[in-house]
Amino acid sequence: HAYHCCGVNYRVVPENYSATITLRSSIEGDVINDNVSRYRDLNQVHLNILSTEGHPGLDEAGPQPGNSILLQCETSHSKVGVTMFAKHATWRGGEELHLDAKMDIGPKCVSAEWTLDVAQGQAIVVEKVVSVFTSYDEEFKDAEDREDRDKCLKRLAMEELEDVTYFSQLLDPHRRVWLDIWDKSDILVDGDRFVQTMIRAHTYHLLITASHHREKVDAGLPARGLSGEGYRGHVFWDEVYMFPFYLSKFPEVAKSHLQYRIRRLDSARKYAAANGYR
């Protein structure tokens, strides 16, 4: 339901000891996908990190709320601006704590840390809510330069979480929306559980590759969706196989894909002419 938001609830319970525990929450700008051997020879650095910020304390620290971290970057090839902003809440034994986080602000990663004494069987919970904005988003207005762009993205990211503090504020409506999505998109097969499982797995990949929010973004369907880097995010003709699903289940998404193609017809004609075609 919240297109620009995500969150995590992290719970730790020492079952057979009492100790001092440190929990660390980060926004890492230097993450790479090194899990697939055949991709390792490809360029894995896709982001240029522009700035990192961390603001401890639960009082206002300038325009930022306390215990917040922020990272701004842009994609290395297409120069799309990206801003991620995170806020935190902490509990011990069911009681919300009001603690300053220790900030570790590096050039490519920013982290918040909490060090707590915990008794055996006592739960520590850290909740993290995050907003993400890019210069592709419809809320973003054209900026005069990169500095203006990044200021706008930072403002949008922070405003998105003004009324969001806890993970439950995202989780409960998120569950309701996903129930509605599955009611609309599920394809039922009788008598073959394996086929049913595979259909639902691939349906999920289609849903996360192009959600019902797609009309807000000028984007096509990458050949591998979000499942791999082999095609480097390129858009080919593979969407022909995916299009019937969106057309039958989410026609507004299918329409956005057609509009993406239509908006690029003039450039395609110019490219064809430059190479001796028409």
**What are the φ/ψ torsions at residue 150 (nearest 5 degrees)?**
-70, -35
pLDDT given at position 57? 65
Q: Angle 251-262/239-249 helices, nearest 10 degrees?
A: 140
pLDDT in tens, 176-219: 999 999 999 999 999 999 999 999 999 999 999 988 887 778 88
pLDDT in tens, 133-173: 999 887 777 777 888 899 999 999 999 999 998 999 999 99
**What are the φ/ψ torsions at residue 188 (nearest 5 degrees)?**
-100, 135
What's the pLDDT band for 63 if we cut at 50, 70, 90?
Answer: very low
pLDDT averaged over the chain?
89
pLDDT given at position 38? 79
pLDDT in tens, 65-123: 568 999 999 999 889 999 999 999 999 998 998 888 999 999 999 999 999 999 999 99
Q: Where are the alpha helices (DSSP H) in the chain?
A: 146-160, 168-185, 193-209, 239-249, 251-262, 265-274
E strands in 56-121: 68-75, 81-92, 95-97, 102-105, 109-118
What's the pLDDT band for 128 if we cut at 50, 70, 90?
Answer: very high
What's the full length of the chain, in residues? 278
Q: What is the pTM of this model?
A: 0.88
